[in-house]
Amino acid sequence: EAGVTQSPTHLIKTRGQQATLRCSPISGHTSVYWYQQALGLGLQFLLWYDEGEERNRGNFPPRFSGRQFPNYSSELNVNALELEDSALYLCASSPLTPLGREGAETQYFGPGTRLLVL
């Protein structure tokens, strides 16, 4: 079974540019999560998509946005890049969990996209 894939593996941009990061979840998974991990820091939650809808958003400015496609793959867009956006961006997927259902929901992570803003 193929795991979560992300592209590109590395991305170099300059300040003010836009970056687009892509994620393909494990087959059968409908939820996609995005995290930012700056160097030496923990994972900061960015966005959660499920069934094409944005379900939750972390404490990030609106220039961080994304979408989920009908095949459940996802894009993360970062506009007006700033130097502090340099980080490892991680995507995770999990099986469908209807909102409000209590239970185990294991996330599986991709290898990440390392974004460098110059």
Partner 1 sequence: DAKTTQPTSMDCAEGRAANLPCNHSTISGNEYVYWYRQIHSQGPQYIIHGLKNNETNEMASLIITEDRKSSTLILPHATLRDTAVYYCIVRVGGNIPTFGRGTSLIVHP
- The residues that touch partner 1, with contacts defined as CB under 8 A, are 4, 33, 35, 42-43, 45, 48, 56, 58, 88, 90, 92, 97, 99-112, 114
Shortest CB 106 distance to partner 1, Å: 6
Dist. CA 54–CA 64, nearest whole Å: 13
Dist. CA 117–CA 14, nearest whole Å: 5
Shortest CB 80 distance to partner 1, Å: 25
Shortest CB 90 distance to partner 1, Å: 5
Q: Which is nearer to partner 1, 79 or 107 (CB)?
A: 107
Shortest CB 105 distance to partner 1, Å: 4
Q: Which is nearer to partner 1, 43 or 80 (CB)?
A: 43
* 109 contact partners, CB below 8 Å, separation of at least 6: 4, 90, 91, 92
